[in-house]
Structure 1
Amino acid sequence: MSIELNRRSLVNGAVAVAGAAAMSPLLSACGGGGGNSATRRKGGTNSKKGAAAALPTYVASTAVQADIPSTTGSGSAVTDPGILKYPASPVKSVAEVPGAGGHYTALTPLWGTIPAAGNSFYQAMNKALGATLTMKPANGVTYANTIPTLTAARKLPDWVQLPGWWNAQFKVGELCGTQLADLTPYLAGDKVKQYPNLAALPTGAWTAGMWQDKLYGIPSFASGFGLPGQYFYRGDVFRSKGINADDVKSCDDLLNLGKELTDAKGGVWAFDDLWPYIFQMFDFSYKFTVTNGKLVHKYEQPEFIEALNWCHKVAKSGYVHPDALAGNNNDAKTRFYAGKVLITADGTGAWNEADALAGIAANKSYRRESFKPFSADGTKPPRLFLNPSAGEFSYLNANLKPAQIQECLRIANYLAAPFGSAEYTLVNFGVEGTDYTMGAHGPTPTKSGMADVQAQTFPFLATPGNVISNPDYPDVTKDHCTWNSLAATYAYKPVFWNMNITVPQRYATADAAQAVEDTIKDVYHGIKPVSAFQDALSTWKGSGGGDALVQWYQTTVMDKLGTGQ
């Protein structure tokens, strides 16, 4: 059982709330509507020179050896390592008790049942840390309302998790340096080496926690190779039908396969909703690309309308499950497990042990596999833009004294101990015999472990970099790592990658472009013609403020600070 499996079960609710914002969690909005509000904004993005001076030095950890090492792809992508079997005798990575007897309150979101205060696991953690962390997990569903109330009253706790997809709502840029502590003096450059587990986190993850050339956020669940998602198929069904997924090398191939797989009378359709990651085939950007030195919004890229045309065609083909066309995405996994849909788009984290368990419960032959990346016409290599290296960050209160900040960073170093280490095992599984039992495939939570430990709190303060590990299903780990290694060769850094950009409030509506997004959904569901998108785009560019928004990004961000690439 792995931390990744546990975390995803807890944050599903958050992703449902955050929606597409979770894919690009580094935007914030603040400031008034006046013409000079940009000069009054706080917490803007970083300059390349300033970021370089503030970033911690990267030093890889050697405490735990991976069975499947990371591979380096293009665009600085480094895949997550794979561990096939949980270490039977976890090693220590932190030599001394990190705390100095301090007392701190920590607030984290939790999408589940709140553990009892002062439970035995929390007590064991405080003993190991040498400090008292009073953990106060709060309802994740209402967390977006909890934080603004605290910041308005200037009553943030000593340590707090602020998920990046809520940067705008929390006005994180304004909080940095006022209510949130600047960690640059403690972590910049070689200073981080006194915290070796923090030094082992990907550089991009630290970049994503920076505001205005200063380091504020401690990343959790960081990855050197994060993609928004990918396309999966039922490998067991394909094999039973004699279908080789590697033969699918273009969108035409995929559509032809859709015809072969669909049996509407038998209750089987080839496709679920394919739009979410269609940019991986048609190569349009997340938000911007640069052409001849000028920013071009994705809506105006020819590849975007080509993708929309194709998805509209697919929606009209009869090969898409009716519930998917109706926008019922909550049951997508159920349709996939039941074999009612054979090809689906899903997040990269869907490929794990929990998925294997759920799928096999529905069909004992179940096997999730993923198409090798391909471009729309199959004539050129695909291009896959990277997600931000981290989307969840914890912050320390600006009122803490330097000695307290250093103590908290030593604690964070403990929490960021490598996967499978002694510290990791305690943080993520608790005390052996009480919270878990150790078996051939690693720790198995007990009843108290499920209630107190698996309702995770400490990992939202700091974690090691992501590891792919599914001890009960090692083939899942092997398949996932193999796919990642190939996909990483097509990776690239998108425009404004890992940059925190504070968008003035007057452009917030144009930046969200909700009316355009609603129209796009109707088009790819086959409800409206593609011309409806073109009409919505025309309105957005003019009275909707789209052209003004693009110009702001051009002159205020790109021309002054670059693209982050």
Structure 2
Amino acid sequence: MTNPLSRRRTSRRTFLTVAGAGAAAAAVGGSGLLAGCDSSGGNKGPGTTSKDDINKIIPNYIQNTSVKADIPSVTGAAGAVSDPVFLSYPASPVQTVPSTPGSGGSYTTMTPLWGAIPPASGNAYYDAVNQALGTTLKIQAADGNNYGDTLPPLFAADKLPDWIQIPGWNTTNLNFGSAVAKFVDLTPYLSGDKISAYPNLANIPSGAWSAGVWNGKLYGLPVYPSNATFAGAVFFRRDIFDKQGINPDSIKTAEDLKALGAQLTSKTAGQYAFGDVFGDVGNYAAQLFGFHMKWDQDATGKIVHSYETEGIIAALEWHASLAKAGYIHPADIARTDQNAKQRFWSGKTVIAADGTGAWNGQDAKSGTAANPGYVRQAFKLLSASAGQTPSIELQPGASMFAYLNAKLTEAQVKELLAVANYLAAPYGSKEWLVVNFGAEGQTYTMKDGNPVLSESGSKLVATTFQFLVTAPAVTTVQEGFTQVAKDYAAWQADTVKYARTPIFFGMNITEPAQYSSIGQAVQDTISDVKVGRKPISAFTDAVAAWRKNGGDELRKFYDDIRSKYVTGASSAPTPSS
């Protein structure tokens, strides 16, 4: 995978695209990551903390108002807030850290990196950031695709670095509810109003800290935090719609979408209406048909899995009907290659679902190279049928966290938190430029109001310091495509109005190990049913087997979690279909 630095530095939504489908699916999965202890501190799992206690533990939010966005955030439902938009970097960047934060210490770090790993020695970018920090962070970047395999040996040998980033999807094989004791309890330093000592950390949305809480204590520093993270969107080629006289605002339901199949499919021209609009874990279909992503509480108060909802059955039948009608590109049915984006750029598919990070200036640049008229846009949130209010499941505010080694002294912890405060400086600040680009004239220059990597900078600058802690997400202009940023902002501002959260939102819950693979047969069956290779009865049979092989026992497990950690849950059910 190529280095996606230029997009990933400003928005977590981009990370979910560039890290790959497997990582993204895990990141957006919601609950089911890690496991349970009671809020009084008595270990019974361990891991889980009640929602009430999480709210007492996480830092208070103190917004940084020194940087003004060109398009401000919009507040929606369920705590969702759209990202602010900057059409160019502020001409007079503010200084948010008045003095050098470090005190001369030297520390080892470890982070994943999806892309080419730059040289660690003689790296002008690393040197510039460390000079500004007044502390030496020895950067050790590891291949993100194999990162999960490198972690267990470090834990087993107790050879963890001073500061390490651990994605949520890599914690399941670490028994992290217990292993987290190897890291610093940050509660005494950052909980509640204590965060005010670190203004840039306080500017991180409160909800982004939740999944960094374990066993009633705060351990994690959020990486790529956001107040409005969604699993993806259903995209279309606006230029092709315009040529065919299709008004995208008239498409409001799944049936409206299906009706476009014949009009947009021309097998002689090699054009198909659809790519995959279901998703590997049903994340796109869940938006269309209103079912939740994993475990949730239905309207009757029963804990149910997404497999058991009417919505997923309707979604499978709908998607299979697209395939049987010949409206889905054969490559998306066969899954024989990974060129879905290229098919969309070239117009071989006109409608395709993807992570929101696919919608950016880099995409516009690639698309226009393949087709000069290329324009990607996303449908406003759709519903299954007319008269239904759309809804979309809000994803956790952060799915990756960084941790400080418990072997550090209190003085060292305070030094690194001061450094973290610098690294978390908001977009529009002097510090943000240093952290993300290094020194002007050395690894970047300003062009058309925005920082651009120099030739040497493109080889030396990589997403490393940002994986230790990150400023809140913003939307920016890339490659000069201002309209792309505006279009995404409008979509997100509309979408946050329909956000909802599942019952276990933001809670670290580890499912018992014996159930770790019982869902694989269902997922394999979904892959066949959604493209019509197997009938819907194959899915219902697979779900029945899943229930017998542990699904019903897992329901009891989640029932127990609900009774212990979710106050008043049964009185406020969320929709399940």
Partner-residue secondary structure (3-state), 2:517? helix
Match of 2:178 among 144, 155, 174: 174
Mapping of residues 144-293 of structure 1, within 5 Å: 144-177=148-181, 179-276=182-279, 277-291=284-298, 292-293=300-301
AA in 1 matched with 2:112: P
Partner of 2:91: 88
Question: Within 1, Cα distance between the matches of 2:262 and 2:468?
Answer: 48
1:354 matches 2:362: yes
1:116 aligns with 2:122: no
Counterpart of 2:225 in 1: which secondary structure? Answer: coil
SS at match of 2:475: coil
Q: Deviations over 1:384-440 (max 9, x none)?
A: 010111111110001111111111111111001011211110111111111011111
Count of equivalent residues: 552
- What are structure 1's unaligned runs of at least 5 residues? 32-38
Q: CA deviation at 1:495?
A: 2.2
In the TM superposition, residue 12 of structure 1 has moved relative to its aligned partner by 5.3
Deviation at 1:265, TM superposition (A): 1.3
Do 1:235 and 1:367's aligned partners in 2 also have CA atoms closer than 8 Å? yes
Q: Which residue of 1 aligns with 2:312?
A: 304
- The alpha-carbon deviation at position 172 of structure 1 amounts to 2.2
Further displaced range: 259-268 or 327-336: 327-336
Distance 1:459 1:43 in 2: 29
**Deviation at residue 20 of structure 1 after TM alignment:** 2.3
Q: 2:447 aligns with which of 418, 436, 439?
A: 439
Match of 1:559 in 2: 563
Q: Conserved in 1, the CA contact under 8 Å of 2:221 and 2:402? A: yes
CA offsets 1:156-192 (integer angstroms, 9 cap, x no match): 0000000112120233222212x11111110001100
Give the CA deviation at 1:289: 2.8
Paired AA for residue 334 in structure 1: Q
Equivalent residue, structure 2, for 1:24: 29
The one-letter code matched in structure 2 to 1:124 is A
Residues of 1 paired with 2:143 and 2:296: CA distance?
A: 38
Note closer, same or farther for the CA distance 1:12–1:251 as it changes in structure 2 (3 Å cut): closer
- Contact 1:385–1:492 (CA under 8 A) maintained in structure 2: yes
Q: Look up the equivalent residue of 1:270 and give its one-letter code.
A: A
Q: Distance in 2 between matches of 1:17 and 1:374?
A: 25
Aligned to 2:475: 468
| Number of the residue aligned with 1:34 | none
- The answer on whether the counterparts of 2:186 and 2:218 sit within 8 Å (CA) in structure 1 is yes
Which amino acid in structure 2 is aligned with residue 269 of structure 1?
A: Y
Counterpart pick for 2:399 among 391, 406, 412: 391
Q: Which amino acid aligns with 1:538?
A: A
Where 1:44 maps in the other structure, the secondary structure is coil
Aligned-partner residue type, residue 50 of structure 1: D
Asked if structure 2 preserves the Cα contact closer than 8 Å seen for 1:7 and 1:456, the reply is no
Cα 1:8–1:203 change in 2 (3 A) is closer
From the superposition, tell whether residues 170 and 452 of structure 1 become closer, same or farther in structure 2 (CA, over 3 Å). Answer: farther
Corresponding residue for residue 365 of structure 1 = 373
- Counterpart in 1 of 2:49? 46
Output the amino acid matched with 1:24. Answer: G
Residue equivalent to 2:540: 534
For 2:370 and 2:183, how far apart are their aligned partners in 1? 47
- Any idea what SS the aligned residue of 2:107 has? strand
- Scaled by the length of structure 2, the TM-score of the pair is 0.92
Whole-angstrom distance in 2 between the partners of 1:259 and 1:547:
42
Could you tell me whether the CA contact under 8 Å between 2:529 and 2:536 is conserved in 1? yes
Selected match of 2:131 from 111, 124, 127:
127
Letter in 2 for 1:242: G
Aligned-partner SS, 1:369: strand
Give 1:202's aligned amino acid: P
1:342 alignment partner, SS class: strand
The answer (yes or no) to whether the contact 1:338–1:363 under 8 Å persists in 2 is yes
1:193-221 C-alpha deviation (Å, 9 max, x unpaired):
11111101111110121112211110111
* DSSP-derived class of the 2:194 partner: helix
Amino acid at match of 2:528: D
Give CA deviations for 1:442-483 in whole Å, capped at 9, x if unaligned: 111112211211x21100001111000015111111111111
Q: What corresponds to 1:518 in structure 2?
A: 524
Cα distance per residue 1:360-404 (max 9 Å; x no partner) = 111111111111112111211111010111111110001111111
Q: Aligned to 2:86, what secondary structure does the other structure show?
A: coil
Assess if the C-alpha contact under 8 Å between 1:13 and 1:141 holds in 2: no
Per the TM alignment, residue 537 of structure 1 is displaced from its structure 2 partner at its CA by: 0.9
Amino acid at match of 1:281: L
Q: CA deviation at 1:6?
A: 9.1
Q: Give unpaired runs (5+ residues) of structure 2.
A: 1-5, 37-41, 573-577
In structure 2, give the amino acid aligned to 1:549.
L
The question of whether the paired residues in 2 share the 8 Å contact of 1:210 and 1:217 is answered with: yes
Counterpart among 459, 462, 466 of residue 466 in structure 2: 459
Corresponding residue for 1:143?
A: 147
Distance 1:424 1:409, change over 3 A: same
SS in structure 2 of the partner of residue 176 of structure 1: helix
Quote the sequence identity (%): 46
Change (3 A) 1:27 1:97: farther
Counterpart code for 1:537: V
SS at match of 1:377: coil
SS at match of 2:458: helix
Residue 15 of structure 1 deviates from its aligned partner by 2.4
TM-score normalised by the chain length of structure 1: 0.94
